[in-house]
Structure 1
């Protein structure tokens, strides 16, 4: 089968391209910008485009599938050529469904926690040498690629994102997967640039629940009121399996999970991660993994990439980085950090980087998000606001919306870096929360 990727360099797209190459497909692609690690990984597989840009002449009638990434625009010249030739054009999630429609599909959805839960499930299955197809949104220890596709495996585990599928398919990605087994971790308004109201956002999850195949299974967080409301109002038939935060304690800096089999030591911390773990346990149970085997495997799970991930520093200082940027994620990460390091001076840095986080209306959601930290720092780039064509935001407004007068606010990367350089990283503990890089800050030094 011959496939062509329009915008092959994306973090999700390049992994799918590699998975198809490994499956034996003929793979080509184009992009106008490809960064690391996508560039090296595509080059290693021999599918890195020879030059950057869009080339309609690459689109020929013998292509079986054109896969369109979100990075491309509706007026993309390769897309126009594909339409002209009448080629089959797939979004990323649409093609994943085509690859998995004969399998049992397990879809992990939710505003937060879905990457970690998916990662936990795959870690446990890999530990016990249970082979499945998968797609996950973070690089995992022991896995070469974030996507795996085979002809033989019976199950496919998919991280289900509520964001849009492609420039020409404005459905939420997870609506295309039609899960046999699903999980919903929580609902907290996100992607305000696409879902203008909270109800519009919730509607995507209503549709997701409605897309569960008849007689399927839904594992859900019973502690989330919005999740419970969506499920209670669902009209289709599926089996419901609720879960909640399990009992645990912190002893000498180690998290111990309380179970019928005794205390299980974990390598992750935070109530939200214990909640994620419980959801993963329920899903693994539906896949035939008994609790004893689950606990045996989960002890060695160190976390998904950039999810409370410890950074090894040259000075041996204690620093964690977290992808947290949405309000619910920031609050959960800060709570976990403060609970884990009660007796240390705690520094928390948050970069407001996304369209949603830089929207004055959406900033209301961050109220008290940094409370509990000894030093709370928020950074956003005034230049980024200009690039995104957004209105300026004052530091005073940030303090007001966070309801934290002691917040330190930086709008210039050089000033942030100067403040960072003055801190002795061997004293206290540090958490860096961003989907960006704090203006190029090196966290290892």
Structure 2
């Protein structure tokens, strides 16, 4: 099979390219720019484009398929040539389905928790040396790539994003996988550049339920009232299984699953709900609850999800991917509940299109109220790049409903502010889908003043 990737450098695209290369396919690709780690990983497998840019000559009649990435535009010359030649053009979710249509397809959907639930399932299956394929949105410890596609594996675990499939296919990705087993972790409005209203956004989950194959199963968070309503209205020929927070206890900053008091390396109500979703999926795949608990005890979390950067002198510093209002609120609540005797300084970088939209910003009201000190950072260059009107401190404080909230648009000023704080018995939570203007968060954590006087 000869496969060409248009916009091969994307996180999902380059991983799929590597997976197909490992499968023995002849893979080529193009892109106008490829960043790390995609560049090095493609080069290691011998499929990094020799030159950057688009070239019609890459598109020939002997290609079996062209896979189109979201980064490409509709007037991309390679895309136009492929259309002119009548070649089969897939989005990457379409091609994932094409490769897995004879497998049991497990699709993890929802506005939050997808990567963690998927990671938990992969961890447990890997623990018991089960044979499975997968597609996950983060690099996981113990896994070489974010995509694995083989002929032999009987099941595939797919993180199902609700964003659009490709520039010429405006359907959400998770509609294209046709799940046999599905999860919806909850619904909180996101991707407002595509789904202009909350109703339009929730409609995508209604449609997702309809794509679950007859006789399949939907596992859903019954703590989400809007999701409950959608599931109850659905007439799909599937079994519906709700889940919530499992019984647990917290002792000295460690969460234990009951009744056997299995010690966990993760914490927070949102992670416990994610765990329950993963447990129910694993049960459908033949792994008992007892075996699941034994395996999940060694799960340390998905990359950038409450990732511990430092722990000393009763101070923990965490990095987290939280950026949407629901994720922000849940992550702050989790850290505060896990360490009730410590203060919490919570800092979020607003970086996504939604979070930088003035009309959407009000969705962040009261999301940081549980933090002892709340900080919002926006890289001043971000507004310039996205051609948006910058927020003022008053804009942000008003939207978050906090006059005490601190606001920075310069990373060095933010760094200087944090270095002046005495962090003894105080946790720091750094949340972003960006990079805080290039600040080295690991070094920052090491430099913090974590020594203080006991009272």
Match of 1:202 in 2: 202
**What's the CA shift for 1:393?**
1.6
- Residues in 1 aligned to 2:396 and 2:23: alpha-carbon distance in whole angstroms: 49
Matches within 5 A, 1:126-205: 126-205=126-205
Return 5+ residue gaps in structure 1 as ranges. Answer: none
Matches within 5 A, 1:6-405: 6-259=6-259, 262-312=260-310, 318-405=316-403
- Residues in 1 aligned to 2:331 and 2:288: alpha-carbon distance in whole angstroms: 29
Q: Which 10-residue stretch deviates more, 424-433 or 59-68?
A: 424-433
**What's the CA shift for 1:427?**
5.8
- Residues in 2 aligned to 1:81 and 1:315: alpha-carbon distance in whole angstroms: 61
Secondary structure of the equivalent of 1:361? helix
Please say if residues 132 and 156 of structure 1, whose CA atoms lie closer than 8 Å, have aligned partners that are also in contact: yes
**What's the CA shift for 1:391?**
2.2
Match of 1:442 in 2: 440
Please say if residues 314 and 425 of structure 2, whose CA atoms lie closer than 8 Å, have aligned partners that are also in contact: no
- Residues in 1 aligned to 2:338 and 2:32: alpha-carbon distance in whole angstroms: 43
Secondary structure of the equivalent of 1:190? coil
**TM-score, normalised relative to structure 1:** 0.97
**What's the CA shift for 1:179?**
0.5
Match of 1:432 in 2: 430
Please say if residues 314 and 444 of structure 1, whose CA atoms lie closer than 8 Å, have aligned partners that are also in contact: no
- Pairs aligned (count): 443
Flag the 1:58–1:426 CA change in 2: closer, same or farther, 3 A: farther
Secondary structure of the equivalent of 1:439? helix
**What's the CA shift for 1:415?**
2.0
Q: Which 10-residue stretch deviates more, 297-306 or 81-90?
A: 81-90
- Residues in 1 aligned to 2:362 and 2:245: alpha-carbon distance in whole angstroms: 27
- Residues in 1 aligned to 2:68 and 2:28: alpha-carbon distance in whole angstroms: 12
**What's the CA shift for 1:84?**
1.4
- Residues in 2 aligned to 1:426 and 1:19: alpha-carbon distance in whole angstroms: 46
**What's the CA shift for 1:191?**
0.6
Match of 2:417 in 1: 419
**What's the CA shift for 1:267?**
0.3
Please say if residues 3 and 64 of structure 1, whose CA atoms lie closer than 8 Å, have aligned partners that are also in contact: yes
**What's the CA shift for 1:425?**
5.4
**What's the CA shift for 1:424?**
4.9
Secondary structure of the equivalent of 1:368? coil
Please say if residues 313 and 444 of structure 1, whose CA atoms lie closer than 8 Å, have aligned partners that are also in contact: no
Please say if residues 346 and 428 of structure 1, whose CA atoms lie closer than 8 Å, have aligned partners that are also in contact: yes
Deviations 1:10-50 (A, max 9, x none): 11111101100111111111111111111111111111111
Please say if residues 313 and 425 of structure 2, whose CA atoms lie closer than 8 Å, have aligned partners that are also in contact: no
- Residues in 1 aligned to 2:65 and 2:314: alpha-carbon distance in whole angstroms: 49
Q: Which 10-residue stretch deviates more, 311-320 or 148-157?
A: 311-320
Secondary structure of the equivalent of 2:436? coil
Deviations 1:127-158 (A, max 9, x none): 00011111011111111111110111111111
- Residues in 1 aligned to 2:177 and 2:292: alpha-carbon distance in whole angstroms: 26
Secondary structure of the equivalent of 2:261? strand
- Residues in 2 aligned to 1:314 and 1:65: alpha-carbon distance in whole angstroms: 53
- Residues in 2 aligned to 1:7 and 1:212: alpha-carbon distance in whole angstroms: 29
Secondary structure of the equivalent of 1:311? strand
Please say if residues 324 and 434 of structure 1, whose CA atoms lie closer than 8 Å, have aligned partners that are also in contact: yes
Q: Which 10-residue stretch deviates more, 300-309 or 248-257?
A: 248-257
- Residues in 1 aligned to 2:88 and 2:39: alpha-carbon distance in whole angstroms: 26
**What's the CA shift for 1:229?**
1.0
- Residues in 1 aligned to 2:381 and 2:263: alpha-carbon distance in whole angstroms: 45
- Residues in 2 aligned to 1:257 and 1:277: alpha-carbon distance in whole angstroms: 10
**TM-score, normalised relative to structure 2:** 0.95
- Residues in 1 aligned to 2:327 and 2:9: alpha-carbon distance in whole angstroms: 27
Please say if residues 318 and 425 of structure 1, whose CA atoms lie closer than 8 Å, have aligned partners that are also in contact: no
Please say if residues 313 and 443 of structure 1, whose CA atoms lie closer than 8 Å, have aligned partners that are also in contact: no
Q: Which 10-residue stretch deviates more, 374-383 or 132-141?
A: 374-383
